[in-house]
Chain A
């Protein structure tokens, strides 16, 4: 349910949002890893749904998506996995997906399955403000949040419009580019984020390109939380699962 998302950002510290490519490297290990990430301090899990054509993702998530798909990941299996995780953990979970996957079995039916599994919201990467009218009724009916993205290229007037309808949290994209690991935090971050937080009725998390505890802390100081994806996914792709869990633990410690 969408109200659960606020619990990621009201724990007395900045929220740590962890993106995982669901089903990577395979469904079983992915489920175990997500549990370990939660126990290591992740405050919200983005279940990345692998897509054959991930247009907004960099090399790391493209590769992890391919691995997950070739090992049999599908959206119905990912929703089943979320339902099992929900029985063990109250931690907020959202699906992070391209729109076509959500349409394949009928959008409303997919939203109903998500709600039943205990998923709290959807982030649809390729569904901008212009097209949300077609998904809102189903999301409202099942009380799921639609997490909106705001980019450094989003003009102020447009950002105000997006924020006005926001629920769950706002995902602020910190860089002009696709997902991936980068060495520096963007320069104009403070200005954009502080303006956005004043406008937003919901928490704001900063993401894209954040890979170290230092970057997470630097980005989160102007926001309500930080999103880390590729840095964790890359370790899993390299078979360094213990290191991935340790990275989540040190990211959490950095935000505490």
Chain B
């Protein structure tokens, strides 16, 4: 597999980390096609995470949109409540094979932090998670979950005190403790081999979904939609559909207050190429190359970069990237709660909002799959606060 995706990707890190990345790469390349490793991993996916996750026909949402049939890939039903654990199981198994005793991770919405804390407990490893102070405030329930799982949560106060700063701090910590520690990156960004490895572990989503939709409908979907922060659920949701030229693939970035306001987190739709956190990719930056602060109602999408494979898929035209703003995401959040009895993560609500637009413009014999990447329990306090601010009331 390539270290680069077209001009994107690569390994732009301090020399101190290169030997560790090379060791990780050697281990991963040796294990990725190893039947014993895959069997071990699949065992945990089935018995611990509860895969496969269902593909649910959302009948009342379909009726509301009035067009294409809407299917939801229920990653929210995984153990820990999101797709993140698909990846942390894989990386923790690799860390164990490498003899590492500690896991460190960054987290934004807290779902990756919880998923890392979970597997650390499962495998008896130490764990420390770095989280922006602003995110700790926005996602308090996940901080408590990590702590009861035995993980140390360290607040990061530098920069904008969000996900990118947590990633800076995790990289700094890794530089200092590289001998006995693996940095478990939660998204398809970072230096090689992370984008390839995380995409591999998340591709189980589309492997299942493709088979499930064929079984249910007898044909491929017309469109597949996922939200994109760093882009791990999206790569996982797209991977096995990429060769199917008839399937339209749509990534949804966080439009925040609107692309035109400059207050958003849409790296592809509103950024340009640069290098951050170990890879070359689309970034939100000023004319001098300083990274700019992002804005989104969703902590998990609040990241100024994006996985390098997404940058490549954008340039090649295989995936279309669009934005959904805060208000649209909150409306979709409400709709799914009220019409299907599912409380989605605010991240996933961005994909839902785009899905509703797409479905409305399609015919009733067509179908779309939306990746419901996580559940929204963590967002309740934040949703109430934001709704109060935007609409002056909490219930619609």
Contact = CB atoms under 8 A, between A and B. Distances in A.
Interface of A: 51-58, 62, 69, 74-76, 98-105, 125-131, 148-155, 158, 162, 173, 176-178
Interface string B1-20: 00100000011111111111
A100 B283 contact: yes
A150 B10 CA distance: 19
For A150, A151, A173, the residue with the greatest tally of chain B CB atoms inside 10 Å of its CB is A151
A155 B178 CA distance: 14
B16 A58 contact: no
B339 interface: no
Interface in B90-115: none
A177 B176 contact: yes
B291 interface: yes
Contacts of A152: 16
Contact of B19 (A51, A53, A102, A154): A154
Contact of A101 (B3, B159, B288): B288
B290 A103 contact: no
A150 B146 CA distance: 36
Contacts of A54: 168
A173 B15 contact: yes
B386 interface: no
- A-B CB proximity, top 5 nearest: A104-B289, A177-B176, A151-B16, A149-B15, A56-B14
For B10, B16, B19, B175, the residue with the greatest tally of chain A CB atoms inside 10 Å of its CB is B16
B287 A56 contact: no
A154 B13 CA distance: 13
A103 B289 contact: yes
B291 to A, nearest CB: 5
A153 B277 CA distance: 20
B283 A158 contact: no
Contacts of A102: 289
Contact of A127 (B12, B176, B290): B12
B232 interface: no
Contacts of B141: none
A57 B287 CA distance: 23
Given A100-B275, A104-B288, A128-B18, A177 B12 contact: no
7 contacts: A52-B159, A56-B16, A76-B288, A131-B10, A149-B14, A176-B16, A176-B177
Given A155-B19, A173-B16, 20 more contacts: A52-B159, A52-B290, A54-B168, A55-B14, A55-B172, A56-B171, A58-B172, A75-B288, A75-B289, A99-B12, A102-B289, A105-B287, A125-B14, A126-B14, A131-B10, A131-B12, A151-B19, A176-B175, A176-B179, A177-B176
Contacts of B3: 130
